Amino acid sequence: MEDKRWTWILVTAIAPIAWGSGYVVTRNLLPAEAPLWGGVLRALPAGLIVLLLARRLPRGSWWWRSLVLGTLNVGGFFVLVYVAGQRLSSSLAATLMSASAACMLLFAWLLLHRRPRVAAVVGAAVGLMGVAVMLGFDAEGADAGGVAASLGAMVASSIGFVLTVRWGSDVPALPMTAWQLIGGSLVLLPVAVLVEGAPPALTGPSTLGFAYLTLVATALAYVAWFSGLRRLSPGAVGVIGLLNPVTGVVLGVAVMGETFGVPQGIGVALVLVGIVLGAASPQRRTEVSETVRLAVHSRT
């Protein structure tokens, strides 16, 4: 059982690593003036590809649930992250977003009535400390709108991921991913047309960038993430998400030539320790029973 848990931890880790690589791709390959269309072009093709693999349409309440979760986890999230990336330094934006580990613990407590484990709280705290040490608190350029967008993206996705656990315990990861990606795209598409007009013209580099974001940082990443949410506690998954800023720093050094010093090394070590503490310890039997009870309740 413990071996399978580690397998799902590693599968879940694909998502934050892929999302962390998306910062570099977006900054260097994609057009900066079309965040709404950027979200549509990233999410809609990925959703259609996953839907072809899943071969399953929503039923009943899942038509409106897909729109709600798609808006929280995909459409609104992509746009808010873009705004934060434009207005804040990457280190400050990543530090703010890394608070999602603690945020998911809080919303799991409020919405699922699942009291966080001590190990998960300690792991989240150690991981957040590591992110702060690794990236630093960059007060310069702390634009209020950018801070609000970053915190909004963190809160929206945290609520969306916890609601995915509450509502989607009986839905496999493939259809869950497809429904949310398409639902978020359908909500975002008319807004993109009204605000930005026609979609941006794509160049060779931007086409490659969107292909990577669509296939790896969206389709594959969301399937991995939702698979983890089905098999691990929200707190554990939130702590694993701290790999996102770690990936951003590593790729910044390897691709962008940024400096990697002693603080970054200490920070990475603390994040890894936090992930082991928060994600590696198994759920208590009572937590598993509570998950089953919530799954049964959500179907009634």
pLDDT in tens, 120-144: 777 777 777 776 776 665 555 567 7
Mean of per-residue pLDDT scores for the chain = 80
Tell me the pLDDT tens digit for each residue of 221-276: 999 999 998 888 777 787 788 788 778 777 777 776 666 677 767 777 777 777 67
**Could you tell me the residue range of the domain that residue 86 belongs to?**
2-298
How many domains does one find in the chain?
Answer: 1
* Tokens linked to 24: 């570099």
Q: What is the pLDDT of residue 11?
A: 93
What is the C-alpha to C-alpha distance for residues 190 and 44, in angstroms, rounded to an integer? 13
Confidence of residue 175 (pLDDT cuts 50, 70, 90): very high
Tokens of 254: 């390897």
Q: In this predicted structure, what is the pLDDT of residue 144?
A: 79
pLDDT recorded at residue 100: 73
pTM: 0.80
Q: What's the mean pLDDT in 1-20? A: 84
